[in-house]
Homo-oligomer: A and B are copies of this chain.
Amino acid sequence: MKKDFFQTIYNSPHIGKTDYEEIAKAHSQMDVRSGSLLLEEGKIASEFYIIEKGLFRSFVYDYDGNEVTTEFYGPKELLIESFSLFHRSPSMENFQALSNGTVWKIEYQLFQQLLGKIEGLREWGRTWATSHLFIIKKRSIKMLTMNATDRYLNLLNERPQIIRQVPLKFIASYLGITDTSLSRIRKEIVTT
């Protein structure tokens, strides 16, 4: 059921049943084809997405114009560039579908209206923001303190399905190395 899906996503003890119905109504379903972009660098995000089905990634361009994958996203995760969305400023990141999929989209204005009406949703937002901050901090610390092999093993452990479904070059740039190096690391691991 549609309502249950949003209850899982916007999970908070202070959001009531009728609130979830209103939240559900504010989202619209959207099919996405593999490779398509849901947000492009430089544009202002006017909506965000909740993934129902499929695999996605966010990426930026480095100084040499190479794509650098910053995160992978799967079902029940949010595809949101919060700074661009809430500050109405150009996005730094790109969102791309890595497979065909289905997402639930919600417009900025509509979400702001819900935030104004539902205190529990504001609370959910604070929790999301602090948790997300925490996750990004942890990732950035890992980038600093672990070597490439350990980062790969860590990803393999935490998100095995990513490794299986995603082309090596995206995984490599996510780990901060070249696809050549990742290929060598894989070989090393297999033979160990």
Contacts and interface: CB of A to CB of B under 8 A. Distances in A.
Nearest to A175: B144
B130 A83 contact: yes
Contacts of A126: 86, 125-126, 129
A136 B136 contact: yes
Q: How large is the interface on A (under 10, 10 to 19, 20 to 34, 35 or more residues)?
A: 20 to 34
Q: DSSP majority for the A interface? A: helix
B129 A130 contact: yes
Copies of this chain, whole number: 2
Given A83-B131, A126-B129, A146-B63, A136 B141 contact: no
Contacts of A127: 86-87
A90 B163 CA distance: 31
A141 B83 contact: no
A132 interface: yes
B140 A139 contact: yes
Interface string A129-171: 1111110111111011110000000000000000000000000
Given A122-B122, A126-B86, A136 B145 contact: no
A170 to B, nearest CB: 13
Contact of A144 (B68, B87, B133, B134): B68
Interface of A: 60, 62-63, 66, 68, 70, 82-83, 86-87, 92, 122, 125-127, 129-134, 136-141, 143-146, 173, 176
Given A86-B130, A129-B130, 10 more contacts: A60-B145, A63-B145, A63-B146, A68-B141, A68-B144, A83-B130, A129-B129, A133-B136, A136-B140, A140-B143
